[in-house]
Amino acid sequence: MSYREGISFHTAGRQSKRHDRCLLDGMPANPWRFAHSRISTAVIMALLLACRGFAEPTAGVAALHAVPWSPGNGVREGAGEFEVLLRVAQLERAYRAVGLVSVGDHNGMLPAGGEHALRQVALSGVPVVKLARGGDVAATPDGLFLDAGRLPEEQAMRVLVRCLELYGAPPAAHDPQHPTSRELTAIREHLRPFQETLAIAASPQVALR
């Protein structure tokens, strides 16, 4: 509806001389009511946008846990990989940026194909934080995973959500199966403040607070 159509709508029917003059001048017959209407609309739109922001959090994180498994157990073969990919798909339906906290074995490893899947999602823009049960997280050649040290699982998840909100998701490789050296460097550089934040959260000074 154009400006003049709006005026015609509000002044339809019997019009006074003042209405006629306002129509000719291109001004509303009741400027105060017109201004009040515009202000009310702006306030309503601001509230709707605020509510939308509450309804749609920007970052979501899930935890994965290693289960006992042996190489000869065909039932669990590939189960770790499936769980990783399924959890990421579920998160991406609800959040703009997602991450995983993987609670592995004493080396922080996720069996049954889980490690392969974790590397693929890490190369696809999903930061992966690792925890080791009763041990230390083993280093990986590409340095794509984040080490949470001795942080409790819940705290590691909170830190990862905060980092995603502050720094956003890391870049994804064009082909996660064959990342280039430049892509690997870009991912590691993006994850640097993530690792620094986790190290600070795990420091004894912070833990005592």
For residue range 38-58, list pLDDT tens digits in order: 555 555 555 544 444 444 579
Q: In what order do the strands lie in the sheet with 146-147?
A: 59-65, 97-104, 128-132, 146-147
Q: Name the domain count of the chain.
A: 2
- CATH assignment at residue 126: 3.40.50.40
**Does pTM surpass 0.75?**
no
Say if residue 81 is in the same domain as residue 138. yes
- Residues 181 and 113 reside in one and the same domain: yes
- Where in the sequence is the domain holding 90, given as residue range(s)? 58-207
Q: Are residues 152 and 192 in the same domain?
A: yes
Residues 44 and 89 in one domain: no
- Segments of the chain with pLDDT less than 70: 1-56, 68-77, 205-209
